[in-house]
Amino acid sequence: MIDTPASSLTMRPAWADIDLNALRHNLQVLRERAGSRRVLAILKANAYGHGLTRIAQALGDVDAIGVARVDEALELRKAGITRPIVLLEGFFDAKQIPVLAVSHIQPVLHTKHQVGQLLRTPDLPEPMRVWLKVDTGMHRLGLNAEDAERIYHALDQSPLVTGHPVLMSHFACADEPDHELNGRQIALFEDIKQALPYATTSFANSAALFADLAADDDWVRPGVALYGISPFPQQTGTDLNLQAVMKLQASIISIRKIRAGESVGYGASWTASNDTWIGIVAIGYGDGYPRHAPHGTPVWINGQEYPLVGRVAMDMITVELGPNMSAQLGDTAQLWGPDLPVEKVAEKVGTIPYELLCNVARRVNLDYLNE
Ligand SMILES: Cc1ncc(COP(=O)(O)O)c(C=O)c1O
């Protein structure tokens, strides 16, 4: 007879609960902040790791969905999503233009090259809605301000384009609301808007929405806050009345005693200073857990935090459970989620929550709650 703890019978390696009630709550919070502005929900990078299609379905009546890749937009259409879809980097090849037109996918045009490609398209099955991005100081994507008015008019008058293009820009430092670049970006955007008074406009991401920057535009574009994460350093989503949507979990698959002076894991990079217990948790960099997480990165087990010790391996991490260990084989560890903010883990790891969420690997099963 094998002595098996009851909890180990349901033992799984790594999985993530995706709480759709939390997602809907966050959308509601964002809608309240947005007031009369429309919400373009940013679902790029597989909805920041939460699963593109299921998140789009759960958002139901959101005004529009933003993605970065043509494949993502087409995947949404294939799944029956009928909401407007905005392609944040536009098309990557002129051959994609007719495909976008028939699929009612709205490209953001951010270079003269893209605008030229569209305007030179001999014919389209139907005219398309477009967004025009201007660079107001981030100096990544967007037309120069001095070209904006002329190019806006060219698009506006083209039979290939329906409706007025939406004029948009993007903040470089909205997560630092007092950064002087914010004011300069807003002032430049205001100048451009004055020359194009009938254009609908969009500027704010999550941070700008919470910091009340660019509050008189028509569209807001929250990403990270939808998933319950604070866009500001030194704060968690809870501080903004947001709820974590993802709970990343894994099972303890082994527990062992380590004597003082013994080391743990690859490179023997951590050595116990006293006799203690180590839990081996079935998640590693192969699941997207960050390999460079240092000793002391918190892991939540049975209602409290324990420190990660030793190196993160492909399929496992090791956690010090202490000399008076009470955990059992098969217990669940939370790597981040409602009890352990991903913001806190990210800070310890030296990255941002966005990266941790996006990196969750395909082999991590996503379990949707509250559909
Ligand atoms: C153009 C654009 N708008 C909005 C967002 C959403 O930003 P956040 O997730 O910080 O709200 C992004 C994300 O990077 C973006 O690239």
Which class in CATH covers the domain with range 6-15+244-369?
Answer: mainly beta
In this structure, what are the phi and psi dihedrals at residue 72, rounded to the nearest 5 degrees?
-65, -45
Give the number of the atom of ligand 1 that is nearest the alpha carbon of residue 175: 10
| Pocket of ligand 1 contains residue 42 by CB under 6 Å | yes
Q: Which pLDDT does position 10 carry in this prediction?
A: 62
Who's near 78: CB < 8 A, 6+ residues apart? none
Q: Is the CB of 353 under 6 A from ligand 1?
A: no
Whether ligand 1 lies within 6 angstroms of the CB of 50 is answered as no
179 beta partners: none
Question: CA-to-CA distance for 347 and 177, rounded, in angstroms?
Answer: 19
- Ligand 1: atom nearest CA of 42 is 6
For residue 327, what are the contacts with CB-CB under 8 A and spacing of at least 6?
252, 255, 277, 279, 301, 302, 321
Does ligand 1 lie within 6 Å of residue 222's CB atom? Answer: yes
Tell me the CA distances in angstroms from 184 to 110, 171, 181, 193, 325, one per residue in order.
20, 10, 5, 14, 55
Q: Could you give the CA distance from residue 201 to residue 164 in angstroms, rounded to a whole number?
A: 10
Q: Which atom of ligand 1 is nearest to the CA of 170?
A: 1
Q: How far is the CA of 222 from the centre of ligand 1 (A)?
A: 6
Question: How many whole angstroms separate alpha carbon 131 and alpha carbon 133?
Answer: 7
Helix (H) or strand (E) holding 56: helix 52-58
The domain made up of 20-230 has a fold known as TIM Barrel (3.20.20)
Residue ranges covered by each domain of the chain: 6-15+244-369, 20-230
Known active-site residue 44: yes
The residue from 78, 112, 257, 266 that is catalytic is: 266
CA of 287 to the centre of ligand 1 (A): 24
Per-residue pLDDT of the chain (371 residues; tens, 9 = 90+): 455 555 555 678 999 999 999 999 999 999 999 999 999 999 999 999 999 999 999 998 899 999 999 999 999 999 999 999 999 999 999 999 999 999 999 999 999 999 999 999 998 999 999 999 999 999 999 999 999 999 999 999 999 999 999 999 999 999 999 999 999 999 999 999 999 999 999 999 999 999 999 999 999 999 999 999 999 999 999 999 999 999 999 999 999 999 999 999 999 999 999 999 999 999 999 999 999 999 999 999 999 999 999 999 999 999 999 999 999 999 999 999 999 999 999 999 999 999 999 999 999 999 999 99
Q: Which residue has the tokens 């919470």?
A: 210
Q: Which atom of ligand 1 is nearest to the CA of 221?
A: 4
- E runs forming strands in the chain: 14-19, 38-42, 64-67, 85-87, 105-109, 131-133, 166-168, 201-202, 219-220, 246-258, 263-264, 270-271, 276-281, 298-301, 304-309, 317-320, 332-336, 365-369
> Quick check: CB of 110 below 6 Å from ligand 1?
no
Q: Is 112 a residue of the active site?
A: no
Burial 185-194 (b: 16+ CB within 10 A, else e): bbebbeebbe
206 lines ligand 1 (CB under 6 A): yes
Which residue, judged by its Cα, is nearest atom 8 of ligand 1? 223
Give the pLDDT confidence score for residue 333 in this predicted structure: 98
d(CA 193, CA 196): 5
